[in-house]
Amino acid sequence: MKIVLVLYDDPVTGYPKTYARDTIPKLEVYPDGQKLPNPKRIDFKPGELLGSVSGALGLKKFLKELEHTLIVTSDKDGPDSVFEKELVDADVVISQPFWPAYLTKERLAKAKNLKLAITAGIGSDHVDLQAAIAKGITVAEVTFCNSISVAEYIVLMILSLVKDYIPSYNWVVKKGWNIADCVQRSYDLEGMDVGSVAAGHIGLAVLRRLKPFGVKLHYTERHRLSEKVEKELGLTYHENLESMVRVCDVITINCPLHAETEHLFNDRLISQMKRGSYIVNTARGKICDAEAIARALKSGQLAGYAGDVWFPQPAPKDHPWREMPHDGMTPHVSGTSLSAQARYAAGVREILECFFEKKPIRTEYLIVDQGKLAGIGVHSYVAGDTTGGSERAIQFKK
C-alpha cells in the first residue's frame, strides 16, 4: 500500500540532537477512563520531535518492514505540491490539524485508491466529511490524545490576555522598566465570569482547571453534563450561546468546526458580548469570522483575542489576525507538545495496525465509517464541508 504522510517542516535550526528533558511522564488512562493508544510496539522514544518531517511519527521502520510505500512531505498546498501529486494513487493519507492536508471534494475525487484518512491529533474538519461519506472513505482521529495539552494552553492564554503578559514581556526585551505601560490593561481573573463553548474533553478539562481561580463558570453544550458535574464545578448551563456570551467576561471556544459552527462568532454575536470581553480560541479558526474579530479589537468591543488556530493553515502573511491589536496569537501549537506527539504518534500506529490486519478501529477514533458518521463523529460532527477557502493556504509561500 501507499501511505502519504503530511507533516510540518523541521526546525529551521535543524532537527534536534538533544532535548530539554530526558523523559516525559507516563500516563495510563485519560481523565474519563479511556485507555491511551496501545499499538503492538513503537519505534520512537516518547519525548522526541515526531510531528515534523524527519520524525515521520516514528512510522518509517514499521512501514518499511511491511513493505509499504511511505511518502513524507510538508509540501501540501497547490496543484503542483507533492501531496497533490502523490494523493492520486494513495491508499492512506495521514496529516495533522497543525499543518493540515486539506482533503477537499476535488482532491478526494482524484484519490481513486484512498480508503483511510487519519488525523494525527483531534479535529478532522480539514476533510470534506460529506464527500468522504459519499466515497466510503474511513476518517479516523486519535481522540483525546492532546485534549489536556490544549486545555493547559487555554488557561495559559486566558491568563496572558487578562494580565496583558505579552506587552509586559516585550518591555523587558526592549530593556525598559515601563510599569505604567504594562499595567494599564492588566486585570485579575478572580471574580470574572468565564464561559466555555462546548464541554467535551477539552472544554470540561478547562472548566476543571479554572475552578480554583475563583471565577464563575458557565457553559453551553449540545449534550448537557450531568447534574453531579455541574454541582461539583459550580457550573451555570446555558441553552443557547447568546445567553452565555451576554454575561461572560471571558469566552473559550472548544467546539468542533462543522457546518453549524462555521463563522459562529461574527459581528452580530460579538456585539452581544460585554464590552471589553476576551475570546480564546484553540478550536478552529473558521469558527470565528476573521474580519469581525479584528474589527472588534480595534473598536474596543473585545479587550483581547488569543488562539493558535487560523484558517487556512498556514495562514497567509496578509491574514488580518497578523496585524490586529491586543492579541495573543501563536501558530497552531497547543496540541503538538512533545508529550502530545508521543500519544498521537502511537495512536496513528494503532489505527494503521488495525487497518492492515483488517481489524476494527476503536470506535472512539472513528469520525466516518461505512458511508456515515461513526463513533465520536456522531457525537461531535454534522455531515458537511468546511474546507471551502483552504486553497488560500498556498499564499503562505508567497
User: How confident is the model over 140-154, as pLDDT tens digits?
Assistant: 999 999 999 999 999
Spell out where 23-115 has E strands.
69-73, 92-95
pLDDT tens digits, 241-275: 999 999 999 999 999 999 999 999 999 999 999 99
Conformational region of residue 234, where left means phi above 0, alpha means psi within -120 to 50, and beta covers everything else: left
Q: Where a domain ends, among 310, 329, 348? A: 329
Annotated catalytic, 68? Answer: no
Give the pLDDT score at 286. 98
Give the pLDDT score at 227. 98
Do 151 and 138 fall within a single domain? no
Q: Has residue 398 got a pLDDT over 80?
A: no
pLDDT tens digits, 229-242: 999 999 999 999 99
Q: Has residue 276 got a pLDDT over 90?
A: yes
Domain harbouring 6, CATH code = 3.40.50.720
What would the mean pLDDT of 179-195 be, rounded to a whole number? Answer: 98
398 assigned to some structural domain: no
What would the mean pLDDT of 112-138 be, rounded to a whole number? Answer: 98
77 beta partners: none
Do 268 and 359 fall within a single domain? no
Catalytic residue among 96, 107, 146, 281: 146
Do 178 and 316 fall within a single domain? yes
| CA angle at 246 for the pair 241 and 248, rounded to the nearest 5° | 90
Lowest mean pLDDT among 48-52, 70-74, 151-155, 380-384: 380-384
Q: How far apart are CA 329 and CA 333, in angstroms?
A: 10
Annotated catalytic, 126? Answer: no
Q: Has residue 90 got a pLDDT over 90?
A: yes
Alpha-carbon distance values, 72 to 2, 63, 132 (Å): 11, 12, 22
Do 90 and 163 fall within a single domain? no
40 assigned to some structural domain: yes
Do 226 and 301 fall within a single domain? yes
pLDDT tens digits, 358-370: 999 999 999 999 9
Domain containing 63 equals: 2-145+336-393
pLDDT tens digits, 302-347: 999 999 999 999 999 999 999 999 999 999 999 999 999 999 999 9
Helical pair 165-173 and 147-163, crossing angle rounded to 10 deg? 70
Do 105 and 16 fall within a single domain? yes
Do 158 and 280 fall within a single domain? yes
Q: Has residue 108 got a pLDDT over 90?
A: yes
Conformational region of residue 282, where left means phi above 0, alpha means psi within -120 to 50, and beta covers everything else: alpha
Q: Has residue 397 got a pLDDT over 90?
A: no
Catalytic residue among 332, 343, 349, 362: 332
Alpha-carbon distance values, 307 to 44, 119, 298 (Å): 30, 20, 17
Do 95 and 203 fall within a single domain? no
Nearest to 117 by CA among 286, 109, 108, 17: 108
Do 283 and 180 fall within a single domain? yes
Q: Where a domain ends, among 298, 329, 360? A: 329
Catalytic residue among 313, 319, 326, 341: 313
Annotated catalytic, 96? Answer: no
Catalytic residue among 107, 218, 238, 284: 284
99 assigned to some structural domain: yes
Q: Where a domain ends, among 282, 310, 329? A: 329
219 beta partners: 196, 237
Does the predicted TM-score (pTM) go above 0.85?
A: yes
- The total of structural domains in the chain comes to 2
Annotated catalytic, 284? Answer: yes
Do 153 and 245 fall within a single domain? yes
The one-letter amino acid at 339: S
Q: What is the mean pLDDT of the chain?
A: 97
Pairing of strands 366-369, 138-141: antiparallel
Nearest to 37 by CA among 391, 298, 344: 344
Give the pLDDT score at 158. 98
